[in-house]
Structure 1
Amino acid sequence: MPALNHPHTQRLTLNNGLTLSVRQEPRLNRCAAVLRVAAGSHDVPAAWPGLAHFLEHLLFLGTERFAAQDNLMAYVQRHGGQINARTSERHTDFFFELPPSAFAGGLERLCDMLAHPSMNKETQLREREVLHAEFIAWTREPSAQRQLARLQALNPAHPLRAFHAGNRYSLPIPRPSFQQALQDFYQQFYQTGQMTLSLVGPQSVTELEALGEHYSAVLHTGKAVPQIAPPALMSTGEHAYHHIDGQHLSLMFAFDPLPPESAQALAFLCHWINADKPGGLVAALRQQHLIDTLKASPVYQFESQALLQIEFTAASDIAEHASSIRDTFCDWLSFFSAQAEWPTLRDEYHRLQQRQQAVSGALELARRDVEQHTLQLSDQGVTALKSALQQMQPTARHGSAHDWQLPAPNPFLKVPDEPVSAGLIRGQTSAHRGLRTFAQDRLRDRRAPSAMSFSSAIAAHNTEASIYLRWSLPGQLDDVLLVRLQSSLRSLQQDARQAGVELVLSASGTHLLLKMQGFHTPMPTILEHALRSLVAPGTYDAAPTPTLMPIRNLLKRLPEIHQQGTAPKVSDLEQCWATAQWEGLAVALPASTQAVMTSVLSKVPGTPKAQHSEPPAWRHTWHIEPGDSSEQALLVYCPAPIGHLADEAAWRLLAHLAQTPFYQQLRVELQLGYAVFSGLRQINGQTGLLFGVQSPHASVAEIHAHIEAFITALPALITALDETSFTQARTSLAQQFSSASLGALQAAELLWHAKLAGHPSDYLTALYNALMTLDQATTLSAAQRIAQAENGWLCLATQAAPEAFYQGKS
């Protein structure tokens, strides 16, 4: 087998005690940093639950050197990156992804905010209210409530049973004892001995090491602090229990103790439990109509302890089938345990991990490195797996009521033979280039249907590509039919994802979209399987619809609202495909893959769409999406004129300039809630400025008033910029759309929306040029048109519109 370690990855300890991991990945055009602090919510004194999460929040509020307008969050957003943090039980992660040109500035700000946090009490009081709002929303999430209930059977002394989220009452900021605990926790754990910094990018290992060493010099130095070992997971001596909640059954397995490398062993086990293959556990339970979905995952791991959850979900109350499900699971587990060393499954798992590493982005690779993720189950991992299986089934089972089978290999993981070079046919070499044959002439005459465009805007020199297929239907798909189609792809989606391809089927009004993104080689084969399933989907059991928090539900509904009209519902699949028209786009597909795609496209149901149709005109409208939550949420979408690139450039710059002040005003200063955001959003080819807020205390009318006031002040935001500041902001945004900065998948998404909007194939170049030549007067005019709602606003909210929404608006 190939070597475990990536040839361009190194892990070392710096002189200041920091563990530094660096990985060079030449195929990337983005860089990522993940800084892990070995301290989490379970390391906090019991008197102050939520302190670790609270400190994570405080660290993002700016430092003396980098204030709020130029802190890490504002900097990453300004350069088109992504950023977040997460407090877990025994560690806290801070992470971001940026273009290489901006990476050093991000790393500088990350280290500075961990070394010099602002902890004044006024700031703490404001941020505690944000944390309290987040806590309220979290406790109302059904999934969070179920998770808390599942843990009640554990040892009461174990910290998993305790409250750790943090709220207004658990964080008594004025108390000197709390302030001392906050400082003690920070000083004890936020130092280099407790930190691991993982850097990934296209730069050389030497350059990444130099960046890590230079910017981490400001961090407080220290030695590793042993984290206190928790008590036993179970106080009863048992290793397993179950929990039933309506449509959900969870089998819980507490491992204590486990040998080394148990994390990779449990990951391996969960992968095969989740495998949706003939002869496997999922297939057997579905065939008996006992479940709809199954998910196995570790919910807790620390040193030699682990808690594994096997969650089964049914379309109706699961209690009457719980015993049969448990028996079937135990029967499968006995079959799996009887396999000697699992050589075939280990080889398959190794191929899968190799593929995942080959297609992962910078941020995912940095996460893998900080966790020291391995590509295969080692011999020591096999020992750990045997120990886990022994604890899961202490008594042997004899005989089986099922004809279990090991899963068949994933066909999409197979690496094909070296393709023939583009421009040559079999038997030719590069010496024949330029010579033409009749066979080649016939190949050139075979044109793909005009409805499918093969874009060359992104060079096909990478592993990533994208394919979009969209059907225009005679009406809106009936919900039952849509779920049936999506269910028919479920097994295929799992195989495709393991092979590095994301496959998604979604509906929006009278359109059905099939999207594939990722590793290009298996795409034609995956698409052919997908088309076959869509034409002849099997039967299915309806899965329960998860309850989303209000703002997430609005975001999910936004594209659908855009396309909604008076079109009839379509419930007859044969009629649907008979009258459907399709169009598509393929981006960054190599010539060899394009040739294979042409034959696959002949199997697309419906007829090719010959003429482009414009997106519908917008009106000033308000849609209500009520929910069960007591919190209120509002989305305000301000569309740009369709088809005008200069307007799109201005809208993009306004989104770029508004993002930080909108967050600062509505979240930090007004404290409307923790879900506050703005940015540019494209929906079915329509470009627009999107503002969103969810609040635990403000009404929709109040939220609308604050958003409207901000939008009305957009022209003032532009006029306040001097020429230098405007030029810097414009250039910074334009660079995000340069060929050096755009990732293949990001570029493909832009090109797809450009196609829907009717833009020509040179859209990316034209957009870059439009941004670079954008002037302040044009941007100010766009801000004024948005403020006056000349193109209308689309609002989606949990309550009815206030009267002010329609006053003076078109």
Structure 2
Amino acid sequence: MSDHPAQVQPLQSTAKRSRLDNGLALTLVSRPGQGKAAICLRVAAGSHDEPTEYPGLAHFLEHLLFLGSEGYGPEQSLMAFVQACGGQVNASTQARHTDYFCEVPAALLDGALARLLDMLVHPLLDPAAQLREREVVHAEFLARGQDGATLAAAALGQALPAGHGCGAFVAGNRETLMVERDAFQRALRDFHRHYYRAAQCSLVLVGPQPPAELEALARRHAAALPALPGSVQAAPPALLPLRERQLRMTLAPGACCLRLGFALDLPGTCAGAALDQALDYLLTWLADESSGGLSAGLVAAGLCSGLQAQVLYRHASQALLMLAFADVEEDPASRAAIAAAVQDWLGFFAAHADAGDLRGRYRALLACRLQALQPLALARFHQDLGLDDDTPGQCLSEAARIVLSRLLEQLRATERCIALYASPVVVAPWQGTGFPLRMASEARIAAAPRNWAWQLPAANPFACTQAGSEPALEIEARLRWLQPTAAAAGPGQGALLARLCLVEALSADRLQALVQARLGAVQGQAAQVGVTLQLTAEADALQLSLQGPAQLLPRVLAHALRRLFDSTALPKPPAPAAEMPIRRLLRRLPELFSREPLAPGCPAQALRQARLEGLCVGLEETAQREIEGLFASVLELPPAAAPAPVQPGRHWRAAPGADEEAALLLFCTQSDADARSEAGWRLLAHLLQGPFHRRLRSELQLGYALFCGYRQVHGRRGILFAVQSPHASVPQILAHIEAFLGAQGDCLANLDDAALGTAAAALGRQLRERAASPAELAELHWQQHQAGLPPAHGATVEAALAALTRQHLLALHQSLCQASGGWHLLANAAG
């Protein structure tokens, strides 16, 4: 393998930064050829800026803004608008800023931006809606109180000096959000008036439109933001001296984990984009898993199973950096050895961090990452890192290099390090407010001397040219090649979706553990160059997805498959992390239809006997030949058999866990597979999505984690309902869903022809835009293949949508309520 960078096609986009007359900071990223556009608007105010007497007020306001505005009521709001067009929308309240972001079809950018700006400037803040939304925030508080990452971040905050916002409770709950009090309402409106103004905001727009068109959109809608001077955020207290240096906490379920927090308080000149760039550069190499690096060294020594690095807090010249080490032994000496190894590696890296070849490789990796980012991810990237354009030649500026040197100095200062060890061992409750913590101080111990043979990160195998070839794998493949339309081609992007079919059903958990153990490093290396590699285990197959720069996909696939089929000793897989109940159930959803494991079996042996079936989009002939050369034989992918006939009635499967909240998935299978029925079922799901969210989340306040939508599970199509609730049981959740579905009959009967036609047209447009990228085109055809449907099925469904009648829709709704196609339920408790 040579060390020359692989040739990556340049990203066809430009970025333009400016400031409008009213003070709004504007970044425009024109990306021709994309079918989608994205918005990311940041308000320079977060949880550390809220009144101390009302913890969670900033987060609560973020929730309230989505509940309607003067120009757009709840049913025409940004949330409803984006859901109707099949886009993405969300928000995030951080310590010193709040982000609002969405991705929509490019033609709908104007409507999305209009709604976003109106909800920020003219929110309704209805008192009755506030009372309902407070219960949603409280449900979120209860769910986050069981999340290990949230509790660990709160625990590290307790080690900082008293009075620093990182140690305060900022999520909010029923007790802190005193909606009924006039003083709270004044504080809420004062916070909104004080911070939600143009000079306090920065807006990023990404789309295929020319910069002048994007700027015209921004000027037209951003004019609504008050043109008042920006509010200066109060400087945070110092991060030193630490109140605690060594802590242990109770955290179950999950394996033992060591987290090292570093309180960084740099000189005032080391702020802004230079600090962000230095941190991104450092995290890139901290997370690198190549031989001789920190992660690989600790794993080889048996001290942990992996390393993750994250910036928990960043404002001005302050930052709280966290390194998390999984599967760490209870022995204090092991923890001390990890902390000492980190210090040793930091010293080694500081001596080489500014090496020209390392910076050059970082620029190449960042170029690959940027090329592969979808519009929403690219918008958020530009919001976080102050790059002038998409050409990363200046991604580590001279100022950032100076900051990096000072950053490494502080990281090696032991008085800035907090060691937090989490295990299932129960310790006493910690005296504090907010999330419940069980935590206690511990004495530090010195580590025994050890010699580490650190090496600089090796060149990423996917960013360098390769010479020679390796023998084909002893498995057969059945492949289909597709080329995207000109509108969906994207800047050199491709996608591969495949299924490794097993000869016998195995434990999905054991198969997933093998994948994590074998492919963790490959996934990390792929991510560095902008390739997303995902593998999901089912009882009888391993689903594989590759997306990113087309010319890199054959190389990543080759590495992944050879590593998966490696006959060497299996590395220790990381212990399963604690998950929200609803996420765990979603991961297990294919179990509703997959074969039961026949025997314990050996996953490695079963994979070596597997057959690969796959579909590739956007790969040129040379790349196609590279992929075909990986296999002993290659045939054309034949049509898949249709799934087994539907089973009317209800079919329960329990997936119990040590959960404090009830969670239920209800998959209602489409009773008929013809295009006319599918068009009706898709329209039903489209019409139910908004009312389901409003009824169960806002009115009944069952919880904040719920959704419904049209889905495909193991080749079967239907409507999926998902709910997690902190107070309703599984039978109660199901009863609420049944009542909701029953009530929708009248709503559908009262739907006039114009409204029905508008909804059908909107859904038809959404279906046509599914092929807006190679990844979406691949997903569309792959799902049709797995469902045993012909390639022209999608076009037939679109045509059927235009001819749907209210009578047909009502008949399908009745079929849905009667479980004619089968109701398949997966829950974490008995029904």
TM-score by length of 2: 0.87
Counterpart of 1:123 (choices 129, 153, 160) is 129
After TM superposition, give the deviation of residue 616 of structure 1 in Å.
3.4
1:352 aligns to 2:365 (yes or no): yes
Q: Deviations over 1:391-441 (max 9, x none)?
A: 1224999x9712221112113224799xxxxxxxxxxxxxxxxxxxxxxxx
Deviates further, 86-95 or 449-458 = 449-458
After TM superposition, give the deviation of residue 33 of structure 1 in Å.
0.7
After TM superposition, give the deviation of residue 335 of structure 1 in Å.
1.1
CA distance in 2, matches of 1:695, 1:186: 30
Paired position in structure 1 for 2:434: none
CA distance in 1, matches of 2:672, 2:714: 11
- Which secondary structure state, in structure 2, belongs to the residue aligned with residue 218 of structure 1? coil
Paired position in structure 2 for 1:382: 401
Distance verdict in 2 for CA 1:667–1:318, change over 3 Å? farther
Residues 258 and 328, structure 2, Cα contact 8 Å, conserved in 1: no
Paired position in structure 2 for 1:516: 546
**Alignment gaps of 5+ in structure 1:** 418-447, 802-810
Residue type of the partner of 1:452? L
Residue type of the partner of 1:409? A
Residues 485 and 537, structure 1, Cα contact 8 Å, conserved in 2: no
Counterparts of 1:172-251 in structure 2 under 5 Å? 172-236=178-242, 247-251=256-260
Residues 468 and 515, structure 1, Cα contact 8 Å, conserved in 2: yes
1:556 aligns to 2:587 (yes or no): yes
After TM superposition, give the deviation of residue 541 of structure 1 in Å.
1.4
Paired position in structure 1 for 2:558: 528
Deviates further, 297-306 or 731-740 = 731-740
Paired position in structure 1 for 2:451: 401
- Which secondary structure state, in structure 2, belongs to the residue aligned with residue 737 of structure 1? helix
After TM superposition, give the deviation of residue 348 of structure 1 in Å.
0.8
Distance verdict in 2 for CA 1:323–1:101, change over 3 Å? same
Distance verdict in 2 for CA 1:202–1:15, change over 3 Å? same
CA distance in 2, matches of 1:354, 1:755: 34
1:628 aligns to 2:663 (yes or no): no
**Alignment gaps of 5+ in structure 2:** 416-446, 468-474
Paired position in structure 2 for 1:614: 642
Q: Deviations over 1:291-339 (max 9, x none)?
A: 0010122111110111111111116536441111122222211111111
Deviates further, 277-286 or 707-716 = 707-716
Q: Deviations over 1:750-804 (max 9, x none)?
A: 2111001112223443333333343433333222211110011011112222xxx
Counterpart of 1:283 (choices 286, 296, 307) is 296
TM-score by length of 1: 0.90
What percent of counterpart residues are identical? 38
1:721 aligns to 2:751 (yes or no): yes
CA distance in 2, matches of 1:7, 1:695: 44
Residues 275 and 404, structure 2, Cα contact 8 Å, conserved in 1: yes
CA distance in 1, matches of 2:584, 2:695: 24
Using CA pairs under 8 Å that are at least 6 residues apart, name the structure with larger relative contact order, 1 or 2.
2
CA distance in 2, matches of 1:109, 1:41: 24
- Which secondary structure state, in structure 2, belongs to the residue aligned with residue 504 of structure 1? strand
Counterpart of 1:476 (choices 481, 492, 505) is 505
- Which secondary structure state, in structure 2, belongs to the residue aligned with residue 27 of structure 1? coil
- Which secondary structure state, in structure 1, belongs to the residue aligned with residue 26 of structure 2? strand
Distance verdict in 2 for CA 1:759–1:490, change over 3 Å? same
After TM superposition, give the deviation of residue 640 of structure 1 in Å.
1.2
CA distance in 2, matches of 1:290, 1:277: 17
Distance verdict in 2 for CA 1:647–1:589, change over 3 Å? farther
CA distance in 2, matches of 1:739, 1:697: 39
CA distance in 2, matches of 1:764, 1:413: 37
- Which secondary structure state, in structure 1, belongs to the residue aligned with residue 629 of structure 2? helix
Paired position in structure 1 for 2:85: 79
Q: Deviations over 1:518-547 (max 9, x none)?
A: 211111111111221122154211312111
Counterpart of 1:64 (choices 70, 73, 94) is 70
Residues 43 and 227, structure 1, Cα contact 8 Å, conserved in 2: yes
Question: How many pairs were matched up?
Answer: 765
Residue type of the partner of 1:454? W
- Which secondary structure state, in structure 1, belongs to the residue aligned with residue 454 of structure 2? coil
After TM superposition, give the deviation of residue 645 of structure 1 in Å.
2.3
CA distance in 2, matches of 1:532, 1:163: 48
Residue type of the partner of 1:268? Y
After TM superposition, give the deviation of residue 21 of structure 1 in Å.
1.4
After TM superposition, give the deviation of residue 739 of structure 1 in Å.
5.1
Residues 238 and 265, structure 2, Cα contact 8 Å, conserved in 1: yes
Distance verdict in 2 for CA 1:728–1:601, change over 3 Å? farther
CA distance in 1, matches of 2:575, 2:785: 35
Q: Deviations over 1:667-698 (max 9, x none)?
A: 11111111121111112222110111111111
CA distance in 2, matches of 1:145, 1:407: 32
Paired position in structure 2 for 1:151: 157
Paired position in structure 2 for 1:496: 526
Distance verdict in 2 for CA 1:136–1:461, change over 3 Å? closer
Deviates further, 489-498 or 775-784 = 775-784
Q: Deviations over 1:563-588 (max 9, x none)?
A: 1435333216335533x333211122
Paired position in structure 1 for 2:813: 783
CA distance in 2, matches of 1:24, 1:218: 23
Distance verdict in 2 for CA 1:740–1:747, change over 3 Å? closer
CA distance in 2, matches of 1:291, 1:508: 27
Residue type of the partner of 2:821? N
Residue type of the partner of 2:824? L
1:325 aligns to 2:338 (yes or no): yes
CA distance in 2, matches of 1:586, 1:722: 43
Paired position in structure 2 for 1:444: none
Distance verdict in 2 for CA 1:72–1:365, change over 3 Å? same
Q: Deviations over 1:180-201 (max 9, x none)?
A: 1111111100111111111110
Residues 51 and 166, structure 1, Cα contact 8 Å, conserved in 2: yes
1:30 aligns to 2:57 (yes or no): no
Counterpart of 2:691 (choices 661, 666, 688) is 661
Counterparts of 1:552-701 in structure 2 under 5 Å? 552-565=583-596, 567-571=598-602, 573-578=604-609, 580-602=610-632, 612-619=640-647, 620-641=650-671, 643-701=673-731
- Which secondary structure state, in structure 1, belongs to the residue aligned with residue 768 of structure 2? coil
Residue type of the partner of 2:135? E
Residue type of the partner of 1:543? P
Counterpart of 1:252 (choices 256, 261, 277) is 261
Deviates further, 200-209 or 350-359 = 350-359
CA distance in 1, matches of 2:664, 2:372: 36
Paired position in structure 1 for 2:377: 364
Counterpart of 2:571 (choices 535, 540, 549) is 540
Paired position in structure 2 for 1:262: 275
CA distance in 2, matches of 1:715, 1:653: 14
Residue type of the partner of 1:111? L
CA distance in 1, matches of 2:563, 2:212: 49
Counterpart of 2:148 (choices 132, 139, 142) is 142
Residue type of the partner of 2:264? F
Paired position in structure 2 for 1:410: 460
CA distance in 2, matches of 1:6, 1:317: 51
CA distance in 2, matches of 1:566, 1:493: 27
Q: Deviations over 1:147-185 (max 9, x none)?
A: 222222110111111111111111112222211111111
1:93 aligns to 2:99 (yes or no): yes
- Which secondary structure state, in structure 2, belongs to the residue aligned with residue 713 of structure 1? helix
After TM superposition, give the deviation of residue 457 of structure 1 in Å.
5.8
Distance verdict in 2 for CA 1:186–1:688, change over 3 Å? same
Residues 157 and 168, structure 2, Cα contact 8 Å, conserved in 1: no
CA distance in 1, matches of 2:68, 2:236: 34
